[in-house]
A and B are shown apart, each in its own frame.
Chain A
């Protein structure tokens, strides 16, 4: 058996703690984060703790009338590893994305920055295998890993005041989809007609940690036919 990767525990104020592995975007580390989160929820229940997984950290919010840093730390350290059944099954999700220039205001700039033709850029972006590391920033926003290095590009110098829902963007080493209209600083290279967030659904977010994403390239006409609003 391989030795388990080490993590540290530190208080985040008096009603939360942070469990942190080595600061890397690493699928194995992230898998452990989610495994510990589900083990903790299974043993204490969602009324007692709220778990917020990120890339390499798990933030655990608790009620200081009931728990504190010391008692929860002891509990976490003593928790059996195998009790965390982690992420349901790794789902494969296909996301239709239209890279038409009418929906991709920064496509040309990203291609130029990468020294690629827009065709090659679209090919690289749409054939990569993406993984959902966690949800954060805003409702239903998935932090994805797997963006090819050639496509890494800094955020825009000044953010747009409004980015439409479904916009596919690149920000540094990350790529993601805006679940709802909002201000945003990412480079926009395409758009999906899919709705990623719906409060009527449970869970409300289409994408969940552990999901694998594949892009299905669609034309502008198909984008419209699927209900997309340019």
Chain B
């Protein structure tokens, strides 16, 4: 069992709740899928095992029972009993240890996985927390001080851990502009405004959360755009509301939206969106859907090879 002595902004998540968007039920799930899957696979778990997402730090967790853990995603200066914890590798924490996430050095969201996953009753097929609907996860809400979360007993003793430094934090190597696939409404912008969108270093607003990243600057169309009928949206969809401040939709987005979409950020860059903090700056570069898919397949193929390696290591 793990006990939250302070919770910061943290919630129980998995890869999300799928197949129910046609019932108005959002997918939710982790913001940074790659980091979460890496955390789970470092422990020989399945990709979808339930884990804790911690944003920006400020969390203190008491480990009540010895087990293997892994921390990936943002570097929130994690410490176990005052000693820095290495990210992206299996770590064994003894009963009684205090695990602290202080404040971000890199990125925004860290993932804490435990071997065999945290115990969670799936709701509508997923353990992820849908805070707005109050369902799933830990009683349908974010964690609070005093919450207790169970996990299974430790199966492995101290093993000499061989791990893949090359895989350390796959979310951070890319720093270039965010590739996005332009939407039909992109052509509603005249050329100077398309140019403005592409050259601006957009600042992430402090009003950003798991629903979406709001951007500080403004992009105002030449003429007010006609109002649209609601339609489906995706993770990374870039909405342009009438006030001109773009919003990039994220894990807790609604299933449908009624604002014009400039485009959708390519899957390969979703981890970077998840790791943006208020004040970070972002640029965009258009790509074709075909190119985006090709890049995604390359990275995913690489990931799956690594995953197989990890599974063999734990289960050999």
A interface list, Cβ under 8 A from B: 8, 10-16, 18, 20, 23-25, 37, 46, 50-59, 61, 64-65, 68-70, 134-141, 143, 179-180, 182, 199, 203-205, 209
Contact = CB atoms under 8 A, between A and B. Distances in A.
B22 A135 contact: yes
How extensive is the interface on chain B, given as a class? Answer: 35 or more
Instruction: Give the dominant DSSP class at B's interface.
Output: mixed
Nearest to B227: A172
Given A54-B229, A57-B231, A13 B264 contact: yes
Interface of B: 18-26, 123-124, 130, 132-135, 180-181, 183-184, 228-237, 254-256, 261, 263-267, 289-290, 292-293, 296-297, 300
Nearest to A67: B293
Contacts of A139: 23-26, 130, 133, 135
B225 to A, nearest CB: 12
Given A52-B232, A139-B133, A205 B237 contact: no
Contacts of B184: 8, 10
B254 A137 contact: yes
A105 B157 CA distance: 64
Given A68-B289, A139-B26, 10 more contacts: A12-B234, A13-B266, A13-B292, A16-B234, A37-B22, A54-B231, A54-B232, A61-B234, A139-B135, A143-B230
Across the A-B interface, give the 10 residue pairs with the lowest CB-CB distance, nearest first.
A59-B232, A13-B264, A136-B256, A14-B292, A52-B232, A11-B289, A135-B24, A57-B231, A54-B231, A52-B21
Contacts of B297: 64-65
A174 to B, nearest CB: 9
Contact of A12 (B21, B133, B183): B183
B23 A140 contact: yes
A25 B235 CA distance: 26
A24 to B, nearest CB: 8
